Amino acid sequence: MTRDTQVTEANLRLFCLKTQIAFVRNVSGPPFPAALRNRARQILGEQIAGDLRTLLGAQDVTNDDDLAAYGAAYHGLTPREERRVGYRLLRVDRTPLGTPVWCELMGANHCTFSVCDTSLDFEARTEALRLLVDGLAKPLRFVYDRRLGYVTAQPALMGTGFRIRSWMHLAGLSHFGYLTELCNAAEAMRALAEPYRPEDAPPGNLMILFNRFSMDARAQTLAGHFKAFLMRVAEQETEARWRLLHDEPFVFVDILKRAKAILKNASLISADEALDLLSDLRLGLTCGAATLRKADPLAPHWFDDATDAAFYPRQGRALRRTVSLPHDVATFRPWRNDALRAQWLRPLAAFAIDRDLIERADSQ
Amino acid sequence: MKCELCHANNAETVLYRRNAEGKREELYVCHACAERERAFEEERGIQITAMRLNGGAKPAPPEEPRKGADEAEDAPPADEAGEPRMMSAAEFFGEDEEPRKGTDEAEDAPPADEAGEPRMMSAAEFFGEDEEPPEDPSAREFLGLHAGTPDDACTRCPGCGATIGDIRHEGLFRCPQCLTTFPELTRTLLDDAQQCSDYQGDPAPGTERLREIEALERRLAEAIDREDYLEAKRLRAEIQAKKGEAGHDA
């Protein structure tokens, strides 16, 4: 198992698809959203949204339907079905972080400021976002107590109000059935893992890892702890992939051949199946067991676009204009998306499996 | 239907009382709250006029008693104005069951004041003068020995009206004042969620100055203790300079 920090950090870039850094604040004055009626939540949300537009030059994108569909997958925003009365979404484009900062008013006076990208410089980005949010403390008057920190309705977010989440592709650990151990280890290391189902691997072998505590240290320190935890996870994932590649070449070749066959021949591919196929392909590419020239399946947007919510606005609508579908699937929505998804993924079937791996598998 | 006083247990009986303004109130409460209200009736100036036991189900609204029927006997006693009044022990238990002197029932009879009206028992009378009040929290609550303390089941947050039961059920606070109204619950929830109940993160903008002033004041106190008055004078000047600076206090 490699303990070389540079190697581990390089591998972490392959395993960590994207990271969301968020700060939660409540504006002082009214009670928290749970104690307010719908009308009060709506009015208060509009007032605070207006203040944010003035203070940050934010753009209100609450009514953007496409963003509501793919925002959860791309930017870690609240899914459309979980948005309550009074929800507002604002985007701040000109920030020191270089990427848009999202301001979500979850209802009334509960504000979440977040940024989501592929950068691994957690500490610097955390500090930059914290300074941006602290600049709003005086005009907006966040609820703050010197003993408890920033006060929110949820005890788990009280203190710094800091939440960092990473989407990790852990195909190696999933293959050997170590995801439950990962969840247990996360708790011991001040983090939590959001499993899909305890007995099954998550679609695409994607695990969401996030920090557990937000009160006992500065936000930058918490980000550092979280990155140290991710480095440990990256070490274990590297070891698992190494074992799969060198100890089980026959199994590895079988995984890749199955993926190739389905991508080449399937007419309907569901979202979960697409995530699994992308996971297998990404596993092969990152281990050097497969090569693909004309596409870059390592780009995180492949996983994001394959989900049900994001696929049609991001890829399916454009494909629909160019691909003719049989009449029985053209109008029936689940099948229409599955058929378009199969068309979208077909170019990825052109990957080539490494000859050395095939030879080792044959000789095993 | 939940008890209208504690909002935790099911309502099992109905309580009629006059509030401080003299208006008659009808409350559907559990047995524990009813007994507690009876125990403190004199202290709070509450007149308990009648209690109807209905086996745990929601009690029916009071009906006019029909003469000659059993309901007439069960109707709450009324005063001259026709308003329900407090029952005496004899009325509640029945004339035939008046405790006879010299028996255990005489000892168990409720204490009476000079006018012969039942009065509230003290804890010493209830348990006997040789015994201490119980340590069991539920028993102490029954006697009202802890009524009105923080984190009481009856306490409502002045900011949002939430009770401990509401916050525990949802797992969320409803307003910032809930944290100061229910300090024990706050500490418990924070210990469960974060294993920490003292904030050690970045100070809010403008509070850095307050932290520095607190640190200087601690050093000032230490300097005075060791009689280093020159250092104390210097620290006092520094504190006054810091307090005179403009800044945002959260």
CB contact under 8 A, A219 and B162: no
DSSP A177: T
* pLDDT, tens digit (0-9, with 9 covering 90-100), for A193-236: 876 555 678 888 999 999 989 998 999 999 999 999 999 999 99
d(CA B27, CA A359): 84
Tell me what pLDDT residue B188 has: 87
Residue in the block written with tokens 């020239």: A293
Tell me the per-residue pLDDT of A154-186, one tens digit each, with 9 for 90 and over. 888 999 999 999 999 999 999 998 888 888 888
For the segment A17-27, what is each residue's pLDDT rounded down to a tens digit?
A: 999 999 999 98
Tell me the CA distances in angstroms from A308 to A106, A168, A273, A314, one per residue in order. Answer: 23, 19, 11, 11
Residue A130, chain B, CB below 8 Å: the answer is yes
The verdict on a CB contact (< 8 Å) between B200 and A28 is no
Length of chain A: 364
User: Of the ranges A188-192, A195-199, A286-290, B105-109, which is most confident?
Assistant: A286-290
**Cβ neighbours of A143 in B, within 8 Å:** 176
Ranges of chain B with pLDDT below 70? 18-23, 39-152, 246-250
A252 Cβ contact partners less than 8 Å away, ≥ 6 residues apart: A244, A245, A284, A287, A289, A357, A361
pLDDT of residue B75: 53
pLDDT for residue A352 is more than 60: yes
**Per residue, what are the HEC states of A310-362?**
HHHHHHHHHHHHHCCCCHHHHCCHHHHHHHHHHHHHHHHHHCEECHHHHHHHH
pLDDT of residue B72: 46
Task: Compute the average pLDDT of residues A333-345.
Answer: 87
> DSSP E strands: which ranges in A199-337?
206-211, 290-291
ipTM, two decimals? 0.80
In this prediction, residue B147 carries a pLDDT of 41
Residues 6+ apart with CB under 8 A from B123: B133, B143, B145
Instruction: Using an 8 Å CB-CB cutoff, list chain A residues near B196.
Output: 159, 213, 215-216
Q: Is the dihedral of CA A192, A196, A202, A208 positive or negative?
A: negative
**Among the partner residues A26, A213, A218, nearest to B196 by beta-carbon distance:** A213
pLDDT at residue A7 greater than cutoff 80: no
pLDDT at residue B105 in the model: 47
Q: Is A134 on the interface with B (CB under 8 A)?
A: yes
CA atoms within 13 A on the CB side of A17: 26
Average pLDDT of the segment spanning A43-71: 89
pLDDT of residue B56: 40
At B109, give phi and psi (nearest 5°). Answer: -65, 145
- Give the SS3 label for residue B212: helix
A139 shares contact with chain B (CB less than 8 Å):
no
- Candidate from B170, B174, B195 with C-beta closest to A213: B195
- Percent of chain A at pLDDT > 90 equals 51
Q: Which of A149, A152, A154 sits opposite B199 (nearest CB)?
A: A149
Dist CA A163 CA A159 (whole Å): 11
Contacts of A110 in chain B (CB under 8 A): none
